[in-house]
Structure 1
Amino acid sequence: MSSKRVVVVTGASGGIGRAAARMFAQRGDSVALLARGTTGLDGVTAEVEKAGARALPISVDTSDHQAVEKAAQQIEDELGPIDVWVNVAFTSVFSPFMDIEPEEFERVTEVTYLGFVNCTRAALKRMQQRDRGAIVQVGSALGRRGIPLQSAYCGAKHALQGFHESLRTELMHDHSNVKVTLVQMPAVNTPQFSWVLSRLPHQAQPVPPIYQPEVAARAIVHAADHPNRREYWVGASTVGTILGNHFAGGLLDRYLAKTGYSSQQTSEPKPKDQPANLWEPADGPDGHDFGAHGQFDSKAHARSPQLWCSQHHGTLGVAAAAVTAGAVAWAARRAA
């Protein structure tokens, strides 16, 4: 691919999407920035332009397929043919399943799964005509291993895994030069823990090890450059969760049942005024710009050896994955 491309990033106003948009801009790519929150969009637009790249902010809810199609056409009209489309946008609910209202569960599914489907369709409609382009789906280790308190999100990411595999094989059957790849994310220090709807008594937190958004962004940019891979694993928790579930699924169930509630909460009570972005963006006109980082900078890693192993797959990558999987299996047995 050309070093200067037209790149679309959904969920660009914060977290992983924000970090990825900045990284694409630093490479000289023109970046279309899709998100609901206008305050966050203003912030990332300024960052992209400061990097010397062209930015096109569009306020859109990716669960609305007609709005996504309109946004895609606007991007091609103003920036040119789309080379890379990165799907990041999501929402979630931290809560036991029976405390999630049916409408809330449906909303998470519409954004976190169907939003990816809508955006992929809009991208493919244009890329297939030219027989070129790359679509990067931002997945999660939780799409391969469900955990307590995140049933809606885990269900949506599991659905994304199946959709990705089905679509990828269809493109291979057609000998298409349009590529789709999946980046499996670990726990990342993003603002989601400060704006996702939560019914937990304490402040929600990512399960360690935690990585900075820039680690995720490097994986996304690499995947956009090398989209032939089926998927990339970003962190130790990703590798361990996926392979640990495969080799010790029943034991891991017991381990998560015992530790999954406490490990996803800090000792601090949940702020009474914490926003919830399920129905409206937390960074709307009356909100503030949350940026890319969450509140766990002191615990987050800036690098991931597992990402390097995934990018340079081979004996070293397999060995690292096996060691991590063994550690998870050992922990599960200890908890059983």
Structure 2
Amino acid sequence: MDRVVVITGATGGVGRATARRFAEKGDRVALLARGEAGLAAAAEDVREAGGTPLPIPVDVADAEAVDKAATAVETAFGPIDVWVNDAFSSVFAPVDEISAEEYRRVTEVTYLGYVHGTLAALKRMKPRDRGTIVQVGSALAHRGIPLQSAYCAAKHAIKGFTESLRCELMHDHSNVHVTLVHLPAVNTPQFDWLLSRLPLPAQPVPPIYQPEVAAEAIVHAAAHPRRREYWVGGSTVGTIIGEKLAGGLLDRYLARTGYNAQQVDRTPPRDRPNLWEPADRQADHGAHGAFDSEAKPRSRQWWLNSRRNALLAGAAATTTALLLRSHRKGKGDHGDDRAT
């Protein structure tokens, strides 16, 4: 396709898998992240997949640095077609075991990082009246869970910010589009990277999906941005609908199960937390975390979701054909009756 794509948080997990997926389509991919080793490895991934990489070291909490990165992308590649916000950091701990400084840092990276990326994209896309912004969200943007208050709050904020922006773009009759992709639990290095004060090492709440499932959804959303939200994985659908229908029951259920579901007796991670410094400054960690043995490589829900228009069209065509066949048969039967 040869689009110009920018991805924040591009050196690990979902961002890394998404960079590869865009590269497979022949796109030019700007990789924004902090870790030098991770950036170098991600750039090599993009080259091997058939894309053209542009690694740019940047902390998305720094608005000026993000804007300068956007200028560097357009200088090297030309106008940005797609901007994907994915960078984040967080803390696993009860609310009162997270300091005010840590909440501030998580907010600056995980929420304001999306704001900074969005502003940099809009500054360039709106005058041209074209472009797509994809916000990588989470089921936890709809439903908070214990031990992840900082992350859940940031994802809720991203959802509200994006909804406001969408209304403004519609008001302006703009051809710039923004969409949200809400993800389930994903097997990424974050469970070794994030600062944790839990008794046991952190794990994603099962069912767990491989980051390539998320990457496929993000690339699809970039090509079909008029849909306001995409839900990926049956667990995401269940969480969002469950919160809408029975939030109080979910409170009690998560109070009982949420602590144990996010911890596992495994070898403790050796990586330093990435809240203040990149975990991949010296070593690359790739897209996958420590849960390959149990992570799902595909989602039936997403397969159906991404093809729903074609499936609905097919169902409509089949229904129409059956009705016509029934109608013709009925006319034939009626003709026989009259002849009799």
* Residue of 278, 288, 292 corresponding to 1:293: 288
> 2:150, 2:218 → 1: CA distance?
24
Residue 228 to residue 257, structure 1, CA distance change in 2 (3 Å): same
> 1:44, 1:104 → 2: CA distance?
28
* Residue of 176, 196, 200 corresponding to 1:202: 200
Secondary structure, aligned partner of 1:31: strand
Match of 1:325 in 2: none
Give the letter aligned to residue 290 of structure 2: Q
Give the letter aligned to residue 124 of structure 2: R
Aligned 8 A contact 1:186 1:234 in 2: yes
Aligned 8 A contact 1:9 1:85 in 2: yes
Post-superposition Cα deviations, 1:268-288, rounded to whole Å, max 9, x if no partner, equal: 3644x441000000011xx31
Match of 2:92 in 1: 94
User: Which runs of no fewer than 5 residues in structure 2 stay unpaired?
Assistant: 313-340
Residue 149 to residue 309, structure 1, CA distance change in 2 (3 Å): same
Moved beyond 6 Å, runs of 4+:
314-317
Match of 1:55 in 2: 53
Aligned residue pairs total 312
Q: For 1:1-336, list aligned pairs within 5 A.
A: 3-268=1-266, 270-271=268-269, 273-284=270-281, 287-313=282-308
Tell me the CA shift for residue 53 of structure 1: 1.7
> 1:207, 1:28 → 2: CA distance?
34
Tell me the CA shift for residue 306 of structure 1: 1.6
Tell me the CA shift for residue 25 of structure 1: 0.5
> 1:211, 1:203 → 2: CA distance?
19
Post-superposition Cα deviations, 1:146-201, rounded to whole Å, max 9, x if no partner, equal: 00000000000000010011000110111110000000000000000011000011
Residue 279 to residue 313, structure 1, CA distance change in 2 (3 Å): same
Tell me the CA shift for residue 120 of structure 1: 0.2
Tell me the CA shift for residue 309 of structure 1: 3.2
Tell me the CA shift for residue 307 of structure 1: 1.3
Post-superposition Cα deviations, 1:237-269, rounded to whole Å, max 9, x if no partner, equal: 111110011111101100000000000000236
Q: TM-score if structure 1 supplies the norm length?
A: 0.91
User: Which runs of no fewer than 5 residues in structure 1 stay unpaired?
Assistant: 318-336
Secondary structure, aligned partner of 2:287: coil
Q: TM-score if structure 2 supplies the norm length?
A: 0.90
Rg comparison, structure with higher value:
2
Secondary structure, aligned partner of 2:120: helix
